Amino acid sequence: MTSTKEKILNVAEELFADHGFSETSLRMITAKAEVNLASVNYHFGSKKTLIQAVFDRFMLRFTNDLSLEMDRLDEADSELQVIDVLSTLIKPITQLDNLRPDGAGVFMNLLGRAYAETQGHIRRFAMEHYASILKRFTQLLHTTSPNLQPTEMFWRLHFMLGSFIFTLAGHEALQEISESDFDQKVSIEEIIKRLVPFMSAAFSFDSNKPYGTTQASDDVGHKKLSAGEH
Amino acid sequence: MTSTKEKILNVAEELFADHGFSETSLRMITAKAEVNLASVNYHFGSKKTLIQAVFDRFMLRFTNDLSLEMDRLDEADSELQVIDVLSTLIKPITQLDNLRPDGAGVFMNLLGRAYAETQGHIRRFAMEHYASILKRFTQLLHTTSPNLQPTEMFWRLHFMLGSFIFTLAGHEALQEISESDFDQKVSIEEIIKRLVPFMSAAFSFDSNKPYGTTQASDDVGHKKLSAGEH
DNA sequence: GTATGTTTCAAACACTTGTTTGAATTTGCT
DNA sequence: AGCAAATTCAAACAAGTGTTTGAAACATAC
């Protein structure tokens, strides 16, 4: 038997992801969850803290899995490549689908919404609670590219974060376009597996060398293979 | 003398960028613009259409400049590199600062907000109105990497778009962190100029070749960690 | 000047929002 | 069982929302 508190959390995270925080009223939540309106304030205090509770629960599931993946990387004593570090993100994201249909999509939508709250409380909340795991990820990434300056590292990390959250938060629209334009249905997992090597290549870019030396483009007459091989 | 209509547009675009669409009330706008509340409905019809008007005006300034930049690229007959195409974005974005203080920041905030409106009317509006210039940009990019499959191209383009919008929409927060962590103040222009070569390197990545050949780091013989395999 | 069309204004409208209240009900415990 | 704490419930609250109204003010033309 799921408690009232859980029923609220489950419905809230879904509606928040679909419609946004301020576009989702407590009445929408309590109606769909089939609980009384006042129970939100009783169990969570306010809408603000409900949002944080939803966000925190989802985030914990993800960061726990991510920590495990990073543990595995720490144990392995072979030399780390960028792609190894970025690949730690794949499982924690895709495994969110086990919790609910399209769990990864819901999670990413929430993350995107939270990030859009530029001046809001969620941003502060996130920075305070998840700074440590972000730092660990950054340090791991640093070992793969020790000659990268900290500031350059910082920016590249956020460039990548942008790509991840933005792409996966808007995956529904992108999936639609992909299907209508290329007749190709793509899952979130496939998107990530395209994104990881793409970003790894970007991270491996050496800004000290003159641009062009890492180019793969023109005169190398190489044959096409299937683009999505894994 | 600025008309009532313009006063509303100017204030609205600022408040929308700062607080979001639904978090900005018409009363906030009309109060700051020092116009009557009813004038919004009189001049624009509804809040919905006001949002579209704000978005459209900002978008036109940008796309006009971008078109000019792409014209210049068409005229040049030297072989185009990825970075040449991506560099067309620099000027149109930074020039938005001429219109108002931190114009580029406001623009990017708006773009981010609009994108977050996953199921909203703005998304549809944008797709209908700006599909042509996006297509032109895509085609230009295609000439630099003719052996890239259309689907791969599509995804890379949106990966990049994510990085751009996400990073620049959140530039205020990132600038703060950068300043407190590295004592470095960075302008939007500097962010873009970091982002463009970073993304160019990613685009130049040849997914057909085994990963590692475009590496700037050490040797080729990298050992695969089975981090993300199912 | 008067007449005509455009724009502004204060006030009200109908509706939704998050939150609080105090009584009713259920639950846990001895 | 009976008592006490925890939970649920319907109702109301105060505040804010976008929009409409009809009169006032303004502008422009004849």
> How many other CB atoms are found less than 10 A from the CB of residue A191?
23
pLDDT band at A38 (very low <50, low <70, confident <90, very high): very high
Cα distance between the two ends of chain A:
41
Number of A/B CB contacts below 8 angstroms equals: 213
pLDDT of A218 above 70: no
pLDDT in tens, A135-176: 999 999 999 988 898 899 999 999 999 999 888 888 888 888
Cβ contact B47 with chain D strand, < 7 A: yes
Mean pLDDT, residues A53-76 taken together: 92
Judging contacts by C-beta atoms under 8 Å, the chain A residues touching residue B194 are 152, 155
Q: Please judge whether B83 and A211 are an interchain contact, meaning their C-beta atoms are less than 8 angstroms apart.
A: yes
Backbone angles phi, psi at A49, to 5 degrees: -75, -25
H or E stretch at B77: none
A160 to B161: CB separation less than 8 angstroms, yes or no: no
CA nearest to B108 within chain A? A116
d(CA B95, CA A29): 44
B38 C-beta less than 7 Å away from strand D = yes
Helix (H) or strand (E) holding A174: helix A171-182
pLDDT the model gives residue B119: 52
Q: Is there a contact between A199 and A193 (Cβ–Cβ < 8 Å)?
A: no
DSSP A210: P
> Best interface-test mutation with A: which of B22, B157, B198 has the largest number of A CBs within 10 A?
B198
First to last CA, chain B: 65
**CB of A36 lies under 7 Å from some atom of strand D:** yes
The length of chain B is 230
Distance from CA of A198 to the nearest CA of B (A): 6
Nearest nt by C1' to B42 Cα? C7
Q: At what angle do helices B4-19 and B26-33 cross, to 10 degrees?
A: 130
Lowest mean pLDDT among A42-46, A127-131, B32-36, B84-88: A127-131
Least Cα separation, residue B118 to chain A (angstroms): 7
Least reliable range by pLDDT among A21-25, B94-98, B177-181: B177-181
Q: Does residue A38 lie within 7 Å of nucleic acid chain C, judged by its CB?
A: yes
What superfamily in CATH does domain B55-203 come from? Tetracycline Repressor, domain 2 (1.10.357.10)
| Residue B83 or A213, more confident | B83
Rounded to 10 deg, the angle between the B188-203 and B150-169 helix axes is 160
Q: Is B157 helix (H, G, I), strand (E, B) or coil?
A: helix
Q: Which nucleotides of D are covered by protein (CB under 7 A)?
A: 7-12, 16-22
Nucleotide nearest to B44 (CA to C1'): D19
Residues A51 and A140 sit within 8 Å (Cβ to Cβ): no
Domain boundaries, chain A: 55-203
**In terms of C-beta density within 10 A (0-12 exposed, 13-18 middle, 19 or more buried), how is residue B189 classed?**
middle
Distance A33 CA to D13 C1' (A): 24
Listing DSSP states for B23-63 in one string gives TS-HHHHHHHHT--THHHHHHHSSHHHHHHHHHHHHHHHHH
Which of B197 and A77 is assigned the larger pLDDT? Answer: B197
- Check pLDDT > 90 for residue B181: no
Strand D atom within 7 Å of A40 CB? no
**pLDDT value, residue B223:** 42
Q: How far is the CA of A9 from the C1' of D1 (A)?
A: 38
Nucleic strand D under 7 Å from the C-beta of A35: yes
Of B165, B205, B227, nearest to A73 by CB-CB distance is: B227
- Convert the pLDDT of each residue in B193-223 to its tens digit: 999 999 999 998 877 655 444 444 333 334 4
Flag if B191 and A216 touch (Cβ within 8 Å): no
Average pLDDT, chain B: 85
Structure tokens at B215: 């590496």
C20 nearest neighbour residue (CA to C1') = A38
The single-letter DSSP state of residue B96 is G
Residue B106 reports pLDDT greater than 60: yes
pLDDT band at residue A200 using 50, 70 and 90 as cut-offs? very high
Read off the pLDDT of each residue in B112-131 and give the average, rounded to a whole number: 74
Mean of pLDDT over chain A: 84
Share of chain B above pLDDT 70, in %: 86
Our measurement of CA A75 to C1' D9, in angstroms, reads 55
Better pLDDT: A221 or B105: B105
Q: Residue B114's closest CA among B174, B70, B161, B151?
A: B161
Cβ within 8 Å, pair A158-B152: no
Chain centre to alpha carbon of residue B24: 22
Q: Is the CB of A31 under 7 A from strand D?
A: no
List Cα–Cα distances, A13 to A20, A24, B101, in angstroms: 10, 10, 37
Q: What is the per-residue pLDDT across B133-155, written as a single tens digit (0 to 9) for each?
A: 999 999 999 999 888 988 999 99
Query: What pLDDT does A123 receive?
Result: 67
